[in-house]
Structure 1
C-alpha cells in the first residue's frame, strides 16, 4: 500500500513538472508570435483582433487555472525540486480530489509588492479562474511603510478584477517577527484582513501558521520552509482553497 502511494505521489509530481514545461513552451510560442507581429507591417483591426484571440484557440486543456502570484515562498526557494513548493503540493491535492484545475506557479524570489504591481499586467495575459496573492513579506522585512504595501496590494487586486471580474481572489495573510516593532507588526498583520474585508475576497489568515519560527520546518536561514514545511503551508492554503474550487460558480 505504501509503495503504491509513493508511486502515485511520484506520478503526480511528474505530471506537475510536465505541466510547468507545457506552460513554458506555450509562453515561448506566444512570445515568438508577439515578436513576429512587431516586425511585420502595420496590421488591420481585424488582424489584431484575431491575434489577441490566439491563446484561447490553441488551448487544448479544459482545466481551469489557479495562479499563485507570490515571492520566494511560492517559488519554493532552496528546494531541490520546485514541485515540492506548496503550489505543487496543492496540485497533488487537486488531482487526488479529481478537480479540473491546473496550478500555475508565478512566484519570484525576492519579489516585493511593488515588483508584483509592475508585472501584474503581463501575468494577466491568460485566463485565470482563481488568483492567489502571496506578497508582502519582503516589504515587511525591509520596513516598507504599511501604507505603501497596502496600496500596491490594492492595485494588484484592482488589476485582477479589471481583467476578469469573475476571477476569484484569495489573499494570503502574513505576520512579521516582533523585532520589527509592535506598532509596525500590528498594522502589517491587520492590513491583510482589512484588504480582504474591503474587497470581499477570500483570506488565508496566516500562510506560515505552524511553520514560522519552527526550526525543524525551516531551512538554515530560518525563513524559508523545508519540504515538510511546505506541506503544512499547502494545508493552510487548502483550508480556504478547497471550498473555493469545490463550490459551483
Structure 2
C-alpha cells in the first residue's frame, strides 16, 4: 500500500506580491514487514524393523540411503527416522502425537502394518490405526505417504488380499500417497530367500536399494 501526503510550497506572485500556495504530492512507501523464510522440509519416517535397520550395519538401510539420495539431488530435506523394531500400527499411533509436536514435520512416511499381520491382529484395527495416523499427520500440516506390505500366501488368500489392499484403501479415502508394496522386487522374485537374513523376514543390506527405489518415486512427488 502506498500512502500519499501533500506538502505545500509557497512562491511570491509577481503581480500582487502575495504568497501563492502550491500543493505537490510526496510519496511515502509504507515499510514492509520482513518476510519469514520458508521452513525447510522435514520428513518423519514412522516404521518398524524394515525401516529401523534391523540386523544391518548402520547407514545401510533404505532410510539412510534416502538421505544420500536427497543430498545427491540437492534437496534440502531433514530426515528423522522414528522407526522401532517390532512396532505395530497401535504402537505407532500411541507415539505419533508426541513426534508431531516435537519435530513438526512437513512430510510423514508411515511404514507400519507388517507386525500386525504377523501377530494375526484384526484387519479392522490395522485400518483404523492407519487412518487415525494419516489424519493426525495431515491435521498437523504434513503430507503423508503410506508404505504398504504384503504377507505370504500361507496366511490364507482372503486375508492376504485384504491386508495388501487396505493401504491403498486408506490412502484413497484420506487423499494420501501410497506405495503398495515396500518389498516389491525383493520378496516376490524367483529366489526371494537370497535377499533375506536367516530369519527370512528381514531383508539383507543388498535389498535396501530396491526398497528405496520402490519408495522414492512417490516420495519425490510429495517433496517437490
Superposition TM-score tier, normalisation by shorter sequence: 0.7 to 0.9
Pick one of 68, 72, 88 that aligns with 1:112.
88
Query: Secondary structure of 2:50's partner?
Result: helix
Q: What is aligned with 1:135?
A: 112
State the distance in 2 between where 1:80 and 1:99 align.
25
Separation (CA, whole Å) in 1 of partners of 2:65 and 2:40:
17
Q: Secondary structure at the match of 1:72?
A: coil
CA contact (8 A) 1:68 1:133 kept: yes
Corresponding position: 1:177 with 2:152 = yes
Aligned mates of 2:155, 2:78 — CA distance in 1: 37
**Structure 1: 5+ residue runs without aligned partners?**
1-61
Query: What's 1:93 paired with?
Result: 69
Superposed structure 1 runs of 4+ greater than 4 Å apart: none
Q: Assess if the C-alpha contact under 8 Å between 2:182 and 2:211 holds in 1.
A: yes
- 1:36 maps to none
Q: Deviations along 1:199-223, whole A, 9 cap, x unmatched?
A: 1110111111011251221111111
Q: Secondary structure at the match of 2:72?
A: helix
Question: What is the deviation of 1:163?
Answer: 2.0
Q: What is the match of residue 70 of structure 1?
A: 47
> SS at 1:175's partner residue?
coil
Structure 2, unpaired ranges of 5+: 1-38
Q: Offset at 1:241? A: 1.1
Hey, what does 1:121 align to over in structure 2?
97
Q: TM-score, normalised by structure 1?
A: 0.71
Residue correspondences, number:
183
- Corresponding residue for 2:211? 233
Q: Work out which of the two has the higher radius of gyration on C-alpha atoms and give 1 or 2.
A: 2
Over aligned residue pairs, what C-alpha RMSD do you find?
1.4
Q: Quick check: which one's helix share is greater?
A: 1
Q: Tell me the equivalent position of 2:173.
A: 198
- Check whether the contact 2:104–2:140 (CA below 8 A) recurs between aligned residues: no
Under a length normalisation based on structure 2, what TM-score does the superposition of the two structures give? 0.79
Contact 1:71/1:112 (CA < 8 Å) preserved in 2? yes
Structure showing the higher strand proportion among its residues: 2
Cα displacement string for residues 97-153 of structure 1 (whole angstroms, at most 9, x for unaligned residues): 001111111100000011111111111122211100000000011111100110111
Structure 1 distance, partners of 2:41, 2:168, is 27
